Amino acid sequence: MCTQTPGQCLVVRQSPPDVAAASSSGGGELMLAVSSSPYHARRQSAPLDASIVEVLVDRQGEASQQQLSHAGPGALLSVGRFQGNGFSSLFAPDIGLQSAMESGRRLLLIGVGASGMAPLRAAMDWAPVQAHASSGQVAMVYLAPSPTAAAYLSEWDQWREMGAHIQVEYLDRDSNQCASDKPSSPRSIMESIDAAVFDRQQGLPRKLNSSWHDWTVLLSGLIGSDAAAVCRKLSEEGLSSEHILVSEAQ
């Protein structure tokens, strides 16, 4: 069964070669967002009696992700069925990524870290989103720890060429500065989002000469107080909560 829409996820479990390994690894079960687009998955899987999908794991993440990142050819994995409805509203189940585009709304994708980029990459590689981007209707803000830890860097220029506005912020503050600048402490997630999204002079809506009422926002990789703070700020700016979409892999 192939994924149907960006933002879906699946359970991946690395199968150790023996019971002792299973006990020491804690099972290695992960809920991961699918990072390949539905169209790519269908095309690659067409001649096979299987579904080919991509996931993104963080080598600096939790132990289960680190273990999975070292899996090589021949490693045995247990993969569950695709789960969820993809990016959708928590307050209006009928509003999702597809309906937002059909309504002519602009898309702002905000992702943090590897877990945040995975479902956003699935969206950016999806043909309907690419067509939407060709008319300047798509923007993405991606927060990565540092340039060396940024995911899918080689694809950013492709997304820009198709018409999307891509803005990358590094939480390692020194990555955004000149080599001669003094080292400084890492920026918080909210500090970075404030600068990239909500700043009155340099925030994205200002840069793109648009109103928040025109946008649907996709949040990915934001949890807890950071997610609540972003949603609160979006509401204060005038964006209806039904136009904030999240994926099951949050």
The whole-number pLDDT of residue 46 equals 62
The answer to whether 138 and 158 are in contact (CB under 8 A) is: no
CB contact set of 193 (below 8 Å; sequence gap of 6+): 110, 141, 143, 169, 226, 230
- Catalogue all structural domains in the chain, each as residue range(s) with its CATH number: 9-79 (no CATH), 88-246 (3.40.50.80)
Give the amino acid at 151: A
The whole-number pLDDT of residue 179 equals 44
Q: Could you give the CA distance from residue 29 to residue 62 in angstroms, rounded to a whole number?
A: 11
Q: What are phi and psi of 150, to 5 degrees?
A: -75, 140
The answer to whether 218 and 97 are in contact (CB under 8 A) is: yes
Q: Which of 101, 121, 152, 106 is nearest to 53 (CA)?
A: 121
Q: Could you give the CA distance from residue 161 to residue 244 in angstroms, rounded to a whole number?
A: 26
Q: Could you give the CA distance from residue 231 to residue 239 in angstroms, rounded to a whole number?
A: 9
The whole-number pLDDT of residue 40 equals 66
Q: Which of 172, 166, 239 is nearest to 196 (CA)?
A: 166
250 residues of the chain, pLDDT tens digit each? 455 789 999 888 877 654 444 444 445 678 889 999 877 656 666 676 667 888 888 887 777 777 788 888 888 888 888 888 899 999 998 999 999 999 999 999 999 999 999 999 999 999 999 999 999 999 999 999 999 999 999 999 999 999 999 999 999 866 555 444 444 456 899 999 999 999 988 788 778 888 899 999 999 999 999 999 999 999 999 999 999 999 876 6
The whole-number pLDDT of residue 87 equals 96
Q: Could you give the CA distance from residue 178 to residue 193 in angstroms, rounded to a whole number?
A: 21
The whole-number pLDDT of residue 178 equals 47
The whole-number pLDDT of residue 79 equals 85
The answer to whether 6 and 87 are in contact (CB under 8 A) is: yes
The whole-number pLDDT of residue 43 equals 65
